Amino acid sequence: AQSVTQLDSQVPVFEEAPVELRCNYSSSVSVYLFWYVQYPNQGLQLLLKYLSGSTLVKGINGFEAEFNKSQTSFHLRKPSVHISDTAEYFCAVLSRSQTGANNLFFGTGTRLTVIP
Amino acid sequence: NAGVTQTPKFQVLKTGQSMTLQCAQDMNHEYMSWYRQDPGMGLRLIHYSVGAGITDQGEVPNGYNVSRSTTEDFPLRLLSAAPSQTSVYFCASSPGTVPNSPLHFGNGTRLTVT
């Protein structure tokens, strides 16, 4: 089964500064990758996904991510963050289990705190 | 549409008690799943279902049972609660049988086992 590793558990950044949240995946022939966001006391929402095609994926709220096969990475970026971006961000991979079913497996999360 | 509805929002149990966490979706989604979220561990898959009458285990199934008698409902049963099951539980659904479409999450059930 494939997995993802989020390298930073917490990332503080000043408002209007750029941010990058890092995610590495275990290599495979084909890989489907996702970023989800969780605001306080809520469930997760999809930010963006990579299934195939262009390696630069644009999502909601001004976020984008780049699929890099050689570095097995799928880092999330935003050029200028707002206070409202404060949340926890999860990288996820679609992986086939031993029973042959496909499920979504999540990383441990990165808490982004935007400082006024 | 209500989306994915989880009840209750909060629950406190004593060790050894049993209970059922309810999950219902009104989007006619085939795929449904249960995750638990623990600090520093992200979300871990407990059980999932690809349609009515079909369920299977995820990463951390021990201590939990599920059933899927209808497309809409996917309850999670704790047979004999243990403190290690203190967690926030999320139910999620997706169209089709493979969750490469967005997973729609409920708002979670916060469970404390004393």
What angle is formed at CA B86 by the lines to CA A101 and CA B67, rounded to 5 degrees? 40
Residues β-bridged to residue A92: A34, A106
A101 touches chain B (CB under 8 A): yes
Chain B interface mutation, best of A37, A38, A60, A103, highest count of B Cβ atoms under 10 Å: A103
Query: Tell me: the pLDDT tens digits for B42-63?
Result: 999 999 999 999 999 999 999 9
Q: How confident is the model at residue A31 (pLDDT cuts 50, 70, 90)?
A: confident
Q: What angle do CA A48, A55, A50 make, to 5 degrees?
A: 35
CA–CA separation, A54 and B8 (whole Å): 42
Q: What is the pLDDT of residue B21?
A: 98
CA atoms of B80 and B17, how far apart (whole Å): 5
> What is chain B's alpha carbon radius of gyration, rounded to the nearest angstrom?
13
| pLDDT, tens digit, 9 for 90 and up, residues B3-30 | 999 999 999 999 999 999 999 999 999 9
Candidates A2, A7, A8, A44: best to mutate against B (most CBs of B within 10 A) is A44
User: Tens digit of pLDDT for each residue in B58-92?
Assistant: 999 999 999 999 999 999 999 999 999 999 999 99
- Decide: A76 and A6 in contact? Cβ < 8 Å: no
Partners of residue B112 on adjacent β-strands: B12
User: Residue A41: pLDDT above 90?
Assistant: no
